[in-house]
Amino acid sequence: MTEEIGGEPIAKYFKSGSFILKGLLSYLAYVTIFPPSLAARIHKWRGVKFDDHKTVYIAPNVLIDSTFPENVLIRNHVYITRGAKIIAHTTFTRPTQAITGVEYILGNVTLDEGCYIGVNAVVLPSVTVGKCAIVGAGAVVTKDVPPYAIVGGSPARQIGDVRHLKEKTNTSNAGSK
């Protein structure tokens, strides 16, 4: 039995013009520095789903799944910082494929409204990062992150709640002038 992507055998898919175009656009988005909205626009062209890409900030050096960008959904007002990686699939080595009978695992990734993905954080397949959640720098997210949670570590675990941040800051008027 041959596995297929979009009706094509996998080996043929990786040689197709569509795959090559996604790869080139992925690289272009990865190195884009200015204007800030350009990286999100390029990712939209690649197939990443957005509510409104104009409200999303994607820093340079962010990798959003290069093979299956269409499995990533980014809601409004999401902020993805430098070096973050959003992965929607895991591909296995040939020896692992021989043992499992599976070439890859594919899952949807959702970044809900207002979430923040820290520097060098990694979000793995089949994960939803909840509304206004914060993923700390270097965290490896393997499970869903609840709305308003602050997570960190590898694997990521909840270390706080965004709704309690104001209590912990020295300024009572953070964000206002």
Q: What does the alpha-carbon distance between residue 46 and residue 145 come to, in Å, rounded to a whole number?
A: 26
pLDDT given for residue 2 in this prediction: 45
Tell me the per-residue pLDDT of 17-63, one tens digit each, with 9 for 90 and over: 676 777 777 767 777 777 878 889 989 998 999 999 999 999 999 99
Looking at domain 4-162, its CATH superfamily turns out to be Hexapeptide repeat proteins (2.160.10.10)
Of 36-40, 97-101, 122-126, 159-163, the range with the lowest mean pLDDT is 36-40
Angle between helices 36-46 and 17-31 (to 10 degrees): 170
Quick check: 125 and 88 in contact, CB under 8 A? yes
Its pTM stands at 0.81
Residue with tokens 């675990």: 157
Residue type, position 73, single letter: L
Provide the sign of the torsion angle of the four alpha carbons 166, 171, 173, 176, taken in this order. Answer: negative
pLDDT at 23: 73
Which residue did the predictor score with more confidence, 103 or 169? 103
123-135 average pLDDT score: 98
Q: Positive or negative, the Cα torsion across 72, 77, 83, 84?
A: negative
Q: How far apart are CA 144 and CA 16, in angstroms?
A: 33
The domain segmentation of the chain, as residue ranges, is: 4-162
